[in-house]
Amino acid sequence: MAELPLPDVHDLPFLAVLRCGRCQGMTFPALAYGCRHCGAEPKDGATEQIPARGTLRNYVTVHADLVRDVAVPFVVGEVDFGQGIREEVLLEVSGEAELVPGMTVRGILRTSAPGTERFPLRFVPVPEEVSA
Amino acid sequence: MNTLMKERPVFVAGIGLHPYQFISEIPYIALGLRAVREALEDAGIAWAAVESAYVGTSAIGMAAGRVMFQHLGSTGLAVTQVESASASGCSAFRQACMEVASGVSDVVLAMGVDKFGGAHRAADKDGLHHLTPTATLPPVKFALMARDYLRRHGLRPEAMARVAVKNHSNAALNPYAQFRKPRTLEQVMASPKVVGDLTVQQCCPRGEGAAAVIVMSERAIKRLGVDRRRAVRVLASVACSETLQHGEETSAAAEMVRHSTMQAYEQAGIGPRDLDLVELHEAFSIEELVYTEAMQLCPPGEGAAWLERGASAIGGECAVNASGGLLGMGHPTGPTGVGQIAEITRQIRGEAHGRQHPGARLGLAHMIGLGSVAFAHVLAASH
Rounded to a whole number of angstroms, the distance between the first and last alpha carbons of chain A is 20
Q: In one letter, which amino acid is B356? A: Q
Burial B166-202 (b: 16+ CB within 10 A, else e): bbbbbbbbbebbbbbeebeeebbbebebbbbbbbebb
- Which one, of B219, B218, B174, lies nearest residue B327 by Cα? B174
Q: Render pLDDT for B284-306 as a digit per residue (tens, 0 to 9).
A: 999 999 999 999 999 999 999 99
Shortest Cα distance, chain A CAs vs residue B139, angstroms: 9
Radius of gyration of chain B (CA): 19
Instruction: Give contacts of A68 with chain B, Cβ < 8 Å.
Output: 133
* Beta carbons of B139 and A87 less than 8 Å apart: no
Q: Render pLDDT for A44-72 as a digit per residue (tens, 0 to 9).
A: 899 999 999 999 999 999 999 999 889 99
Closest residue in B to A73 (Cα–Cα): B195
Whether B247 contacts chain A with CB within 8 A:
no
Contact A85, B246 (CB under 8 A): no
Contact B97, B237 (CB under 8 A): yes
- Greatest CA separation found in chain B? 59
Q: Which residues contact A109 (CB under 8 A, 6 or more apart)?
A: A8, A9, A10, A13, A120, A121, A122
Alpha-carbon distance B235 to B227, whole Å? Answer: 19
Q: What is the mean pLDDT of residues B231-241?
A: 97
Tell me what ipTM this predicted complex has. 0.92
Alpha-carbon distance B359 to B315, whole Å? Answer: 9
pLDDT at A80 over 80: yes
Alpha-carbon distance B366 to B90, whole Å? Answer: 8
Count of residues making up chain A: 132
pLDDT at B136 over 60: yes
Half-sphere exposure of residue B210: CA atoms within 13 angstroms, side-chain side: 26
* Beta carbons of B131 and A87 less than 8 Å apart: yes
Contact B16, B346 (CB under 8 A): no
Choose the closest CB to B195 out of A60, A84, A121: A60
pLDDT of residue A2: 40
Alpha-carbon distance A15 to A1, whole Å? Answer: 26
Alpha-carbon distance A10 to B241, whole Å? Answer: 40
pLDDT greater at residue B347 or residue B136 = B347
pTM of the model: 0.95
pLDDT at B351 over 60: yes
pLDDT at B166 over 80: yes
Half-sphere exposure of residue A38: CA atoms within 13 angstroms, side-chain side: 14
Neighbours of B234 (CB within 10 A): 26
pLDDT of residue B88: 96
* Beta carbons of A29 and B129 less than 8 Å apart: yes
pLDDT of residue A12: 77
* Beta carbons of B194 and A64 less than 8 Å apart: yes
pLDDT of residue B1: 55
